[in-house]
Structure formats: structure tokens, C-alpha cells
Amino acid sequence: MKFSRLFQPRNPLFWIMFALNGLSTALAWVTHNRPLNAWGTLLVSGFAIGNAAIGIWLAWRLMRNEPAADAPAQRGSSTPN
């Protein structure tokens, strides 16, 4: 696994992971800074933890897989002359 494979802007999984991690950050902020009752806190915290877990799983998939085939120079293949 390479950490550099995480940044793949042409891959839709990258943008889903980006959105889920941003949403879980926003939900954690709401839980921390807004007065919620016990059920509201549990519900918002559960969504934040679920979003973070799915975002981490998507990041792991992006780092594990090879980058998209649209960049032949990164695959190490030579172009015929």
C-alpha cells in the first residue's frame, strides 16, 4: 500500500471518501458544540462514526488498488516510437 495512491481525483471513490470524511467532521462538530438531548447525541454521533468508518474503508481501498489506467506514465509502460 502506498499513501500516494490516496489522491485520485478522477476516481469517484476519492470524492465519496472526501465527502464522507467531511460530513463526519461536521457531525462531530455539531455533537460537540450544540446542546442535544441523549438520543440526539447518540444519533448524530452514530452517523459521524459510521461516516468515518466508511470513509476510512474507502481510503483503504484507494490505497490498496492500482491508480486508474488514464495515466500511462505512472504505470511504467513505455510508449512506442
Residues whose CB is less than 8 angstroms from the CB of residue 67 and which lie 6 or more positions away in sequence, other chains included: 5, 8, 74, 75
State how far the alpha carbon of 54 is from the alpha carbons of 24, 36, 60, 66, in Å: 10, 25, 10, 20
| 17 phi, psi to nearest 5 deg | -60, -45
Is the residue at 71 inside a domain? no
Question: Which DSSP symbol is given to 81?
Answer: -
> For residue 19, what are the domain limits?
10-65
Is the residue at 41 inside a domain? yes
The model carries a pTM of 0.68
Structural domain count of the chain = 1
- Render pLDDT for 13-64 as a digit per residue (tens, 0 to 9): 889 998 998 998 899 899 889 999 999 999 999 999 999 899 999 989 888 8
What distance in Å separates the CA atoms of residue 78 and residue 73, rounded to the nearest whole number? Answer: 7
